């Protein structure tokens, strides 16, 4: 019997889509993330297990993105799969920022420049897919600008004819929203916050969920969360950023801040989404668990 | 523009392999599970994120099991993928009990009888795969019986020639271990504890992680954990079961017991594995998250 007959095949490395899934699951695991669901905090109708199920269900859309499907379609399928749990919207924004990054990684060019090119190349069909994704979840959004009711994302699939008539691409949608939505800003800004935060994850030491909590706080301390601004208002979002900065500086306790934010319903969801994106890039760049 | 042009495809249902992955992730999420890693408890070198990464990495092996690969090979690939994190062995036993269940579900006959038939039909090649799986992890096992050193699982792939010479099937290995290993007992006993516990999960009310914690305690209160018996001794395992029964009866606090078990290094790993199996069956039978 030769050694080759009893040989053991090397373990498989995680695929790009697996790393994206792992990023979603590590993101919810990071604790404390003031205002977010984490290992120590839930909301009444939005709990840890919903994010776990969301991360499992999103996988088929992530596989589509890695395998070359158009980005809008991959995103819509990821959201559809994510939504197969009772809390509804857990990771809509995280999936939106991840999908171009997943494709860039699958094309062996995980850079802000290439992910930005992929974003810019999205089409009217991608925009139609994006609007269809809203059929699977309730997502907090502001009223559309004057005269734009036909393109209100809350119309979901009903808006598709108007999208097609007007020739609106998904990149157009992102451009229109970049001022008020941090993920749209990533799409139109070469994902710079995601990549910078990924470098922070790689620089820091210690257990990955602890680094995650730290980078979340750094992100929130640097920029007001656009989801908080939508759910509440600009002032609340700016104040939340000030409070995060205080915690980062050691003038407040992140655990106390986490309890306060949950009690006040301040949930920095956009910051969580960016944290997931950062984790994905870091995993692709060799972050070990 | 007809409605069909803007139509939205129904969300995908989770596949069998996705449900198995979700079961692993929900198992670690259940809290408190006295002595196990859960949302509120870690060990120094074995933490929540290791189980998350293990659950993500195991997926390709679970897909193989669902897709018709021989069970030993699917198991070995699942363990190889699971091991791609720094804690090593997180879910070896859970994967061992899951793989026949996954195949049974993929064949549209998720029953103890059919899973038992699949287990009984495993071959010498499956046994060789099983031994190869030990190359990826350190698993706590007792010394083999007198004269059986050639088949000591700690020999890993080196034992494959002896397995093949002696014509030992994977079912033979399980039969030999059924007295001392709760997962081997499931393989040779039509997975009865897994299926009974799944029915408990479906009967109970409340959030799934809370039901998970309850069913874990019920399992531990009913039978000493064979992993505890291996890591410590039979007496410690029996005493741990008595303590779990007290918590179940309301005479002790499960949270206190969780802290005590972790401090004492009492980790009912076999019970965790059965809980994962129960979650898989329950998910397949319609458990909603």
Chain A residue with Cα closest to B51: A289
Torsion of Cα atoms, A12 then A17 then A21 then A24, to 10°: 130
What does the pLDDT read at residue B141?
Answer: 78
Burial of A147 (0-12, 13-18, 19+ CB in 10 A): exposed
Instruction: Calculate mean pLDDT across residues A262-275.
Output: 97
- Cβ A209–B48 below 8 Å, yes or no? yes
Instruction: Calculate mean pLDDT across residues B125-141.
Output: 91
What does the pLDDT read at residue A6?
Answer: 61
Residue A248 has pLDDT above 50, yes or no: yes
Interface mutation vs chain B, best among A52, A58, A63, most B CBs within 10 Å: A52
Residue A223 has pLDDT above 60, yes or no: yes
CA end-to-end span of chain B: 37
- Cβ B6–A157 below 8 Å, yes or no? yes
Residue B119 has pLDDT above 50, yes or no: yes
Instruction: Calculate mean pLDDT across residues B105-116.
Output: 98
- Neighbouring-strand partners of residue B41: B38
Pick A140 or B29 by higher pLDDT.
Answer: B29
- Neighbouring-strand partners of residue B46: B43
Euclidean distance between CA atoms A26 and A22, whole angstroms: 6
Question: Do the Cβ atoms of A281 and A274 come closer than 8 Å?
Answer: no
Residue A164 in any domain: the answer is yes
Cα-flanking dihedrals φ and ψ of residue B13, to 5°? -75, 155
Instruction: Calculate mean pLDDT across residues A17-22.
Output: 98
What does the pLDDT read at residue A76?
Answer: 97
CA-angle at A56, arms to B282 and B76, nearest 5°? 80
pLDDT in tens, B14-69: 999 999 999 999 999 999 999 999 999 999 999 999 999 999 999 999 999 999 99
- Cβ B6–A84 below 8 Å, yes or no? no
Residue B2 in any domain: the answer is no
B9 contacts in chain A (CB < 8 Å): 77, 80
What does the pLDDT read at residue B256?
Answer: 98
Residue A57 in any domain: the answer is yes
pLDDT in tens, A45-83: 999 999 999 999 999 999 999 999 999 999 999 999 999
pLDDT in tens, B184-197: 999 999 999 999 99
Euclidean distance between CA atoms A268 and A271, whole angstroms: 5
Residue A138 in any domain: the answer is yes
Q: How confident is the model at residue A140 (pLDDT cuts 50, 70, 90)?
A: confident
Provide, rounded to the nearest whole percent, the portion of chain B with pLDDT above 90: 89
Provide, rounded to the nearest whole percent, the portion of chain B with pLDDT above 70: 98
Count how many Cα atoms sit within 13 Å of the Cα of residue A178 in the half-sphere of its side chain.
Answer: 14
pLDDT in tens, B61-94: 999 999 999 999 999 999 999 999 999 999 999 9
Count of structural domains, chain A:
1
Chain B residue with Cα closest to A209: B49
Q: Indicate the residue of B29, B60, B132 with minimum beta-carbon distance to A12.
A: B60
Cα-flanking dihedrals φ and ψ of residue B72, to 5°? -65, -45
Interface confidence (ipTM) of the complex:
0.94
Residue B9 in any domain: the answer is no
Residue A236 has pLDDT above 80, yes or no: yes
Residue B193 in any domain: the answer is yes
pLDDT in tens, B143-187: 777 777 888 888 899 999 999 999 999 999 999 999 999 999 999
- Cβ A5–B47 below 8 Å, yes or no? no
- Cβ A12–B80 below 8 Å, yes or no? yes
Q: Indicate the residue of B12, B56, B81 with minimum beta-carbon distance to A25.
A: B56
- Neighbouring-strand partners of residue A38: A41
Euclidean distance between CA atoms B3 and B24, whole angstroms: 40
Chain B residue with Cα closest to A165: B1
Burial of A244 (0-12, 13-18, 19+ CB in 10 A): buried
Count how many Cα atoms sit within 13 Å of the Cα of residue A94 in the half-sphere of its side chain.
Answer: 31
Instruction: Calculate mean pLDDT across residues B240-267.
Output: 97
What does the pLDDT read at residue B175?
Answer: 96
A135 contacts in chain B (CB < 8 Å): 8
pLDDT in tens, B38-51: 999 999 999 999 99
> Which residues span the domain enclosing B190?
14-284
B7 contacts in chain A (CB < 8 Å): 157
Question: Do the Cβ atoms of A275 and A91 come closer than 8 Å?
Answer: no
Task: Output the average pLDDT for chain B.
Answer: 95
Residue B1 has pLDDT above 70, yes or no: no
Euclidean distance between CA atoms A186 and B91, whole angstroms: 37
Question: Do the Cβ atoms of A78 and A60 come closer than 8 Å?
Answer: yes
Burial of B228 (0-12, 13-18, 19+ CB in 10 A): buried
HEC per residue, B106-128: HCCCCCHHHHHHHHHCCCHHHHH
Q: Indicate the residue of A1, A21, A80 with minimum beta-carbon distance to B11.
A: A80
- Cβ A207–B47 below 8 Å, yes or no? yes
Residue A23 has pLDDT above 60, yes or no: yes
Would you list the DSSP string of B148-212?
-GGG-GGGGGGGHHHHHHHT--HHHHHHHHTTT-HHHHHHHTTTHHHHHHHHHHHHS-S-HHHHH
A4 contacts in chain B (CB < 8 Å): none
Q: Spell out the residues 6+ positions from residue A157 whose beta carbon is closer than 8 angstroms to its own.
A: A131, A132, A134, A135, B6, B7, B8
CA end-to-end span of chain A: 37
The length of chain A in residues reads 289
Q: Is B46 helix (H, G, I), strand (E, B) or coil?
A: strand
Which of A73, A168, A82 shows the shortest CA–CA distance to A129?
A73
B57 contacts in chain A (CB < 8 Å): 12, 14, 18
Euclidean distance between CA atoms A255 and A240, whole angstroms: 14
What does the pLDDT read at residue A4?
Answer: 44
Residue A247 in any domain: the answer is yes
Q: How confident is the model at residue B207 (pLDDT cuts 50, 70, 90)?
A: very high
Quick one: tokens of B271?
Answer: 């019970």
B1 contacts in chain A (CB < 8 Å): 160-161, 164
B85 contacts in chain A (CB < 8 Å): 288-289
Cis peptide before B37 (omega within 30 of 0): no
CATH number where A173 lies = 1.10.4200.10
Whole-angstrom CA distances from A258 to A91, A193, A240, A267, A286 are 19, 23, 11, 10, 30
Whole-angstrom CA distances from B158 to A8, A10, B149, B175 are 10, 16, 11, 21
Cα-flanking dihedrals φ and ψ of residue B154, to 5°? -70, -10
Instruction: Calculate mean pLDDT across residues A238-247.
Output: 98
Instruction: Calculate mean pLDDT across residues A143-153.
Output: 78
Residue B271 has pLDDT above 70, yes or no: yes
Residue B7 in any domain: the answer is no
Shortest CA gap A250–chain B (Å): 24
Q: How confident is the model at residue B284 (pLDDT cuts 50, 70, 90)?
A: very high
What does the pLDDT read at residue B6?
Answer: 61
What does the pLDDT read at residue B3?
Answer: 42
Euclidean distance between CA atoms A87 and A137, whole angstroms: 9
Residue A8 has pLDDT above 90, yes or no: no
Q: Is B133 helix (H, G, I), strand (E, B) or coil?
A: helix
Euclidean distance between CA atoms A224 and B259, whole angstroms: 39
Work out the number of other CB atoms within 10 angstroms of the CB of residue B186.
29
Which of A213, A212, A278, A262 shows the shortest CA–CA distance to A36?
A262
Chain B residue with Cα closest to A3: B158
Question: Do the Cβ atoms of B17 and B55 come closer than 8 Å?
Answer: no
Q: Indicate the residue of A14, A85, A135 with minimum beta-carbon distance to B57.
A: A14
């Amino acid at each position: 019997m030769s050694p080759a007959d009893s040989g053991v095949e090397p373990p498989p490395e995680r695929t790009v889509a697996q790393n994206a899934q792992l990023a979603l699951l590590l993101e919810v695991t990071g604790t404390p993330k003031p205002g977010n669901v984490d290992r120590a905090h839930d909301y009444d109708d939005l709990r840890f297990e919903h994010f776990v199920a969301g991360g499992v269900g999103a996988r088929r859309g992530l596989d589509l993105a890695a395998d070359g499907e158009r980005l809008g379609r991959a995103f819509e399928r990821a959201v559809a799969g994510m939504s197969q749990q009772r809390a509804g919207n857990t990771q809509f924004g995280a999936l939106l920022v991840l999908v171009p990054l997943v494709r860039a990684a699958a094309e062996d060019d995980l850079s802000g420049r290439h992910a930005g090119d992929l974003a810019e190349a999205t089409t009217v069909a991608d925009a139609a897919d994006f609007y269809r994704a809203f059929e699977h979840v309730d997502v907090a959004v502001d009223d559309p600008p004057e005269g734009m009711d036909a393109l209100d994302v809350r119309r979901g699939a009903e808006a598709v004819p108007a999208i097609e008539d007007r020739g609106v691409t998904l990149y157009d949608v992102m451009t229109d929203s970049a001022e008020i939505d941090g993920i749209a800003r990533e799409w139109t800004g070469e994902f710079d916050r995601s990549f910078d935060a990924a470098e922070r994850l790689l620089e820091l030491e210690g257990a990955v969920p602890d680094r995650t909590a730290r980078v979340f706080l750094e992100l929130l301390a640097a920029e007001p969360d656009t989801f908080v601004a939508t759910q509440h208002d600009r002032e609340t979002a700016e104040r939340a950023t000030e409070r995060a900065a205080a915690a980062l500086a050691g003038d407040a306790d992140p655990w106390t801040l986490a309890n306060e934010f949950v009690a006040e319903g301040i949930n920095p969801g956009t910051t969580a989404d960016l944290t997931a994106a950062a984790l994905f890039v870091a995993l692709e760049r060799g972050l070990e668990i």
